[in-house]
Structure 1
């Protein structure tokens, strides 16, 4: 069990952090939620049937709860390297290159959520199943998200 989970963790932790970033989370929040989610997955490893979908669902819900109940101030600087952030000083440069994240953060939560699942290579049918929506509702949210993103980019280019 430990070996299976270890392989799963190594193959999926960075993708999970990216998934949360695509939802609009800051890097440190995404890393924390991803790590907490993996701890929960480890504890329930024997009962999880679809681990990748499970961690995405749990992480997504954790982020929604975090956004709804923010009580602490984020740290200005990550002081030391971790396995999730091997070079903390490179984080700022990496985030700067992520223009997509600025666009995603402008979207309503449902559109961000559906787009984040899509960017993690889930199909509308899979997203609908995980989020308890219809496939048509997922496609509609994706269409709205894409239109809003294009409008935001055009506005930025015009300034």
Structure 2
């Protein structure tokens, strides 16, 4: 669950929405367990599609809060770690959606060929998007470091 939630957060979801989508996706997997050939990619695809539907809804979050301790954020002393993750998310947030999507799948352990199969792209296009995303993210990090 934690990895699935992180995958969704890397694609732009807030923690609460990511947790809800992950839970719903796992429930769907349980309901169709006998039909699923490859559970991990199936669940990640279902979750990614649910996130796209959620993002397309018009709703504003007025501000981000430091999350209260939950099973997803169990240690109150991990706020520094959380802040670092938020900075990484700001870098990812500036990337085009396709590059961010490919990075999220990559961070979740999928190969370019597996990603291509799940999101309906050519493996070479996935590799190209991944390369562009890594370059853009590295440049944003460099700019942030120079600015501080």
TM over 0.5: yes
Is the counterpart of residue 113 in structure 1 residue 101 in structure 2?
Answer: yes
Matches within 5 A, 1:1-150: 13-71=1-59, 73=61, 76=65, 81=70, 83-87=71-75, 89=76, 92-98=79-85, 99-150=87-138
Which deviations, in whole Å up to 9, do the C-alpha atoms of 1:70-103 show, x marking residues without a partner? 336478465674x44445x567544202132221
SS at match of 1:122: coil
Paired residues, number:
145
What's the offset of the Cα at 1:112?
A: 0.7
**RMSD of aligned residue pairs (Cα, Å):** 2.2
Q: Which SS does the other structure have where 1:136 is aligned?
A: helix
TM-score, normalising length: structure 1: 0.80
Alpha-carbon spacing, 1:156–1:131, altered in 2? closer, same or farther (3 Å): same
1:16-69 deviation digits (Å, cap 9, x = unpaired): 011112212221121111111111111111111111001111111111111111
| Runs of 5+ consecutive residues of structure 2 not aligned to the other structure | none
2:90 & 2:67 partners in 1: Cα distance?
21
The DSSP-based 3-state class of the residue aligned with 1:48 is coil
Q: Which runs of 5+ in 1 are unaligned?
A: 1-12
